[in-house]
Structure 1
């Protein structure tokens, strides 16, 4: 190639390519900046800040990321672990383990710790979800890159998504979902059913290890879309049956052998459970919430949570967006088949998300039954929160928003077209600007004493024994124990913990943490109130039996804990052992009680 040819390429083709891809690069860069903005308080001190709204969930995900890295280094079973809830263990597949991102991020976790890995995960999940939605919209549905950008931004940073980013990144990991939906739509293409089926299967396999609930919701949403499309375009649907069925069969044939064992382990393996507590299966949305600005948006505030909030704000879109949605439906209903489909599907899922009974202004109306009652005990559905059906609504709104922003400015309507475009731009701005996310709050993580971080515990604990913390970890107390385990790479076993496991007292229905014992109850009472009755012989026998069951080596109390002095007295009375102050914690060496193996 001559010099002139090289110069021609440098001055001609390269700028053209850059110019063609510049809108995409701007969109992806903006999404990344917005994700960094939302996670800014965490990034300000990666090892020194965690979610201020859901710190216990945040720490739980530290543990899942640490587990994924440990399973690679130690060749452990990635689907099960006895490093938490020793000796019974935790069914990793039956929990929100995010192995699909934890394993790829294992090098980051091993080099920098789970805190940094978590921040990387959360930031890329937010930006990546918006980016893949933008890609699908801009390449397959709309002509306007700006319209695709707005649809992608809403999908990746919707108020409900950002709310989950406060400690639940598995519900932010939506970057595969637009690609899965695209592949489902492409199954109808004649002559490409084999390729499309294989790609769909691999995407489904990956998503299963990110968030099964969202995968299930995506499947339900796709079924609803297919049904609506078939009803609206029956002739086209009939022509697509053969390639669709062939591609679907390929997807099932490829995915089944890959997922059979993990799914079997989840539902029948050790520490599996049957369903979730009824409280969550009935957890519907409040109608008022649709018109309310979410806490983590520019227009949102915390006090409103006291009226209608529970723990999730999936449907908190704000009144302007609800009004804009109605306008978009009116303008697009006759002009776009995809708009009609997502309108019907989104409306249906919004109604189901209200739960079994009407809720209004924070109060449930049991006298007003809703459609969810018909489905709440169906297979798979009984494991779901009805409130989270709103994620399908979010996807439908993202598509409708992109379609409307692409088509409406080009509509030939009475009056000045320029004035109408300005009015449309103003309406979109009024609806979307208030729900731009604010930086999520951050707080200091649980204190990690030098006894733990410097390895002082190694003088007492081996692979056969556990390190017991006071208070014992659960979904409400003892967060430090899970944190200590995570930041040390899970080098020691801990009894109890924060996870979903079977409730032995309720027939194996899922519960948070292990089934409570009498010793648990006693220490929880001390931690909460600072008071307890005199320890009895029965209390000591129960405590000794549990220490032996846990194969405990030491009991550790951080003196910075709330009511540490009362807890120290309680543990001393229960064990009959005087603690030693080692480095910066109180330590009870109980090996002589457990197995007579003192040092």
Structure 2
């Protein structure tokens, strides 16, 4: 094929990709000038955590260590990375970027690329399998990558933005064995499922729920056609099960039975979607304001389509019902899974009611499903609306139909996610001045220690240093004393307890000999080689606290250090 002809064929796809990248940069615009100097003002802890995960990927590649586990946080017990949305499907391929540019710039590139790649993946699937109109595919693809729920997660959770494999999975499920090539289809789907496991296991489970509902809906609406396809479909599904089973068996076993594993997160299973959220504009959209969080509650904003798009989706479901079996299946899937997303207890207007929800009978500690947050089932609704938008744009022959779709989408165009300045890591860390203090087999003990309340910056030091030193405790999911999941270690140390007391009261407690002995015992258990605190006037109370245990601090560059004596 002559080059000009090939370019004409590729040009629309390239244009779509460029626009999606531009939208990704818009969403992350407040990071763009100085990615290392900004942090999410909404989910700063998660923002730092995912930078730490990028460094974990780089560390695993550089040291050829087991990526499913890390002892560089929560030393000496470590962290089960499979139980912590390790996103190895992104962090391992991005290892060269992280090593070259650092985790903060890597995080910016990741988030921009994830938004754009998700949108383009949906666009490509739609224009290849569903609609002839590239414009229809483009508009629907933009919603897939930049829906309000996706953008809300762009505040610090790229694992819920990196959805580029999901359109490919759903398309492959819908077409399993359709042309008789069931072995190929099963192999491809098995590979896609395996890859998605290493990006976001929860969304893989949610996609499976959505796929099950759409399959049942198709079977109910077209029983004869479904029976005709059943043989090839089931054979392909069997191949998928074998491929994914072989590739995923050990990682899944490790997640639930390996060190630092747990079976469920009971708190997560209560978090259903507020039905009023479907009518509300999300904060990070043209029509949204922070007031939406006060009205409906500071939820994850997984739906937040705004009333125009919610009404449009309902209208498209009705108008396309007779025209398209795919539209009927999408509409039924959206209604069924949207209903399930309300969770076990209804929340209305931001208030938890006493009314049981559709998942009230599901055990909170149920394996696998006990890790699922019901509100996130809304991602299936997003996918169904993507299909309805594409079909509606193409099949509404009169311009007012397309105008109505555009008008409903206009208010939810994303705005840049909010950030605040981020202090650089101390020179003591970035220059490598810590190295003479921390010998192999020992840890650097930052003060405050990282947890889900304080010590976020200190966890960032570990990320900046690309995990070259280990830290105790941390910001992660681990087993509680009863074996179920919780944030942080099963029991925090005395030092963290004293730091919290000091921060809450604003005064330095007078330590007893028992307190001092407990702190020394904790540091010895962690094999702590040095305690490090940023030399900052605001840290004076904490400096005085530590000095009651280890004596006067020594200043080294821009930090205070204490070297425990045996």
Q: TM-score range by the shorter chain?
A: over 0.9
Q: Deviations along 1:477-532, whole A, 9 cap, x unmatched?
A: 1012210001111111100111100112xx01111111223332211111233224
Q: Which ranges of structure 2 fall in alignment gaps of 5 or more residues?
A: none
Match of 1:407 among 395, 400, 410: 395
Query: What is the deviation of 1:127?
Result: 0.4
Alignment correspondent of 1:3: none
Match of 1:533 among 509, 528, 537: 509
After superposition, residues 125-204 of structure 1 pair within 5 angstroms as 125-204=114-193
Alignment correspondent of 2:71: 82
Match of 2:443 among 461, 466, 480: 466
Query: What is the deviation of 1:317?
Result: 0.6
After superposition, residues 156-305 of structure 1 pair within 5 angstroms as 156-276=145-265, 278-305=266-293
CA contact (8 A) 2:502 2:509 kept: no
Query: What is the deviation of 1:190?
Result: 4.4
Alignment correspondent of 2:326: 338
Match of 1:392 among 380, 388, 412: 380
Alignment correspondent of 2:486: 511
CA distance in 1, matches of 2:346, 2:247: 41
CA contact (8 A) 1:136 1:178 kept: yes
Match of 2:314 among 302, 326, 351: 326
After superposition, residues 43-62 of structure 1 pair within 5 angstroms as 43-62=32-51
1:531 is paired with a residue whose SS is coil
CA contact (8 A) 2:550 2:562 kept: no
CA contact (8 A) 1:481 1:494 kept: no
CA contact (8 A) 2:190 2:241 kept: yes
CA contact (8 A) 1:462 1:492 kept: no
Alignment correspondent of 1:370: 357
CA distance in 2, matches of 1:503, 1:492: 25
Larger gyration radius, structure 1 or structure 2: 1
Alignment correspondent of 2:421: 444
1:373 is paired with a residue whose SS is coil
Question: 1:442–1:255: structure 2 CA closer, same or farther, 3 Å change rule?
Answer: same
Q: Deviations along 1:310-351, whole A, 9 cap, x unmatched?
A: 241101010111111121112111111111111111111111
Is 1:522 matched up with 2:509? Answer: no
Is 1:475 matched up with 2:452? Answer: yes
CA contact (8 A) 2:89 2:195 kept: yes
Alignment correspondent of 1:583: 557
Alignment correspondent of 2:342: 354
Is 1:312 matched up with 2:289? Answer: no
Alignment correspondent of 1:416: none
1:359 is paired with a residue whose SS is strand
CA contact (8 A) 2:282 2:288 kept: yes
CA distance in 1, matches of 2:68, 2:4: 49
CA distance in 1, matches of 2:132, 2:530: 65
Alignment correspondent of 1:543: 519
CA distance in 2, matches of 1:275, 1:334: 43
Query: What is the deviation of 1:297?
Result: 0.5
2:536 is paired with a residue whose SS is coil
Is 1:490 matched up with 2:467? Answer: yes
Q: Deviations along 1:211-253, whole A, 9 cap, x unmatched?
A: 0001111111111111110111111111111111111111111
Q: Deviations along 1:383-440, whole A, 9 cap, x unmatched?
A: 111110000100011011111111122xxxxxxxxxxx34223321221011010111
CA distance in 1, matches of 2:431, 2:504: 30
2:53 is paired with a residue whose SS is helix
1:474 is paired with a residue whose SS is coil
Query: What is the deviation of 1:446?
Result: 4.1
Is 1:567 matched up with 2:554? Answer: no
Alignment correspondent of 2:532: 556
CA distance in 1, matches of 2:400, 2:480: 57
Question: 1:560–1:304: structure 2 CA closer, same or farther, 3 Å change rule?
Answer: farther
CA contact (8 A) 1:130 1:157 kept: yes
The number of residue pairs the alignment matches comes to: 564
1:458 is paired with a residue whose SS is coil
CA contact (8 A) 1:579 1:589 kept: no
1:423 is paired with a residue whose SS is helix
Alignment correspondent of 1:417: none
CA contact (8 A) 1:446 1:479 kept: no
Query: What is the deviation of 1:96?
Result: 1.5
Query: What is the deviation of 1:360?
Result: 1.6
Q: Deviations along 1:103-142, whole A, 9 cap, x unmatched?
A: 1111101111111111111111100001010111111111
Query: What is the deviation of 1:58?
Result: 0.7
Q: Deviations along 1:135-170, whole A, 9 cap, x unmatched?
A: 111111111111111111111100000000111000
CA distance in 2, matches of 1:357, 1:208: 28
Q: Deviations along 1:513-556, whole A, 9 cap, x unmatched?
A: 11223332211111233224321111112111101111111111
Query: What is the deviation of 1:194?
Result: 0.7
2:283 is paired with a residue whose SS is coil
CA distance in 1, matches of 2:86, 2:368: 18
Query: What is the deviation of 1:15?
Result: 3.3
Question: What is the TM-score normalised by the length of structure 2?
Answer: 0.97
Deviates more, 1:108-117 or 1:248-257: 248-257
Once superposed, what is the RMSD of the aligned Cα atoms?
1.4
CA distance in 2, matches of 1:458, 1:406: 62
Query: What is the deviation of 1:21?
Result: 3.2
CA distance in 1, matches of 2:57, 2:80: 13
2:285 is paired with a residue whose SS is coil
CA distance in 1, matches of 2:343, 2:162: 24
CA distance in 2, matches of 1:454, 1:74: 21
Query: What is the deviation of 1:208?
Result: 0.6
Q: Which ranges of structure 1 fall in alignment gaps of 5 or more residues?
A: 1-8, 410-420
CA contact (8 A) 1:446 1:483 kept: no
Query: What is the deviation of 1:559?
Result: 2.5
CA distance in 2, matches of 1:102, 1:385: 24
CA distance in 2, matches of 1:474, 1:164: 21
